[in-house]
Amino acid sequence: MVLHAKKSAQLLRDLQRARWLPPFNEKVIKEVADEINNDFREFMSLTRMLDADMAEDLEVPQDTAGGLMLFTDLMERNKRNILIYLNHRLEKIEELRWEIGHMIPEDKLGMLSEAEKVYLYRYNDILDDYMRHYVPECKAGLDLTADVEAPEEMNVQVRVLDDSVGEILTPDTA
């Protein structure tokens, strides 16, 4: 019992120590999944014992109730840790796309699993498709990644490429 949730907690510590992302640790994730499955089997074993006791109209033994709560807590903690690990990695991948664009450095690409690379490529495709088709009449696509920071000045100069637009009214012009 001492080693429960240690491996999933180690994954989170690795995330915390890394400058960007640590290499994807599939081996430890599989070990944590096995740990969750083993805890579930123990949980089901205790449940069957409890069902047998309840069939005889006996009171629920304290150790059985405690064991059920313990195994539930262990499974939930491991699941939460794994989900935090995976979600954090996906958020970092999305941030990388917004900061760098398409040209992902090879050293960062090497830290990703094959599934994460597929996610990155699909995310790129979806974002590019959205930017190309957001304004269908526009010849150049909308680049949402151009300025990540908001402008410091309140006044923005607008240049119109087509003279046939006519007069432009904004909320400030009255």
Please indicate, yes or no, whether the overall pTM of this predicted structure exceeds 0.85.
no
> 9-21 pLDDT, tens per residue?
999 999 999 888 9
Q: What is the DSSP string of the chain?
A: -TTTTHHHHHHHHHHHH-SS-PPP-HHHHHHHHHHHHHHHHHHHHHHHHHHHHHHTTPPPPHHHHHHHHHHHHHHHHHHHHHHHHHHHHHHHHHHHHHHH-S---HHHHTTS-HHHHHHHHHHHHHHHHHHHHSSTT-SSPP-TTS--SPPSSS------S-GGG-----TT--
Average pLDDT over the chain, rounded to an integer: 83
